[in-house]
Amino acid sequence: MNRLLPLLIGAIGVLLLATLMLVILPAWQLRTSEPPEQLKPYTAQQLLGRDQYVANGCLYCHSQQPRSTGQTLFDTARGWGRASTPGDYFYDSPHLLGTMRTGPDLFNVGARMKSRDWHLTHLYQPRAIFDWSLMPSYPYMFELKDQVAEGDVVVRLPESLQPEGGKHVVARKEALDLVEYLLALDRTYATSAQELDKRDRGYDRRAVEASTDSGAK
């Protein structure tokens, strides 16, 4: 029993060290005091769309972290945009990095898929666009209406997917918000040397010195 105190102190010490190294230090290293100039804060509607993104589990299949060619050769070749830097996430709290890539990375989807109609059709039924798609459909974000009212956004569908009885598929607010958010995902602007340095080297000053040395030769 007299060993209990050292054991306790040891255990708490290990926990504190782990929290420091894995939580506090990385957060401090990657802190960004200023957002990149071209990055716009989310609008109220885009933030609602972001909530839909989280609530519907888009995160389980889509990452938001294009990687550099040093990490993988494929992300840039796939057209997912330049590797992200800490500042790109300035307005994301919490960030939605994701770990799974069952579907494409979406960090810059607004830059490559700019059509609201395309996104609405795709959300209503991904198989309307790609018959091989394994993305779930989200029919509850849409409603079937006999008559289209003013201001309704009707989803464009192929003949085979048109609802029966001449009804129309109209996007609910959830779908419109979510698409506003998707269209806002665009970090294709050029990033600063400082941000690149932070991303690629963290606080490893030796690497900077070594590369400056070799550059001088």
187 close to 88: Cβ distance less than 8 angstroms: yes
The residue written with tokens 């990687």 in the block is 67
Angle between helices 173-184 and 44-55 (to 10 degrees): 100
Q: Which helix (H) or strand (E) holds 197?
A: helix 193-201
Alpha carbon distance 139, 120 (integer Å): 10
Binding piece for ligand HEC, criterion CB under 6 A, among 16-24, 38-46, 126-134, 164-172: 126-134
Please, which residue, 111 or 196, has the CB nearer to ligand HEC?
A: 111
Question: Contacts with ligand HEC: how many residues (CB under 6 A)?
Answer: 23
157 lies in the site for ligand HEC, by CB under 6 A: no
Alpha carbon distance 147, 164 (integer Å): 13
Binding piece for ligand HEC, criterion CB under 6 A, among 9-17, 49-57, 164-172, 205-213: 49-57
Q: Which helix (H) or strand (E) holds 169?
A: strand 168-171
134 lies in the site for ligand HEC, by CB under 6 A: yes
Q: Please report how close the Cβ of residue 141 comes to ligand HEC at its closest, in angstroms.
A: 8
Q: Please report how close the Cβ of residue 81 comes to ligand HEC at its closest, in angstroms.
A: 11
Q: Which helix (H) or strand (E) holds 44?
A: helix 44-55
Number of neighbours of residue 123 by Cβ within 10 angstroms: 25
Please, which residue, 45 or 56, has the CB nearer to ligand HEC?
A: 56
Q: Which of 36, 50, 62, 121 binds ligand HEC (CB under 6 A)?
A: 62
Q: Which residues bind ligand HEC (CB under 6 A)?
A: 53, 56-58, 60-62, 102-104, 106, 109, 113, 119, 126, 130, 133-136, 138, 178, 182
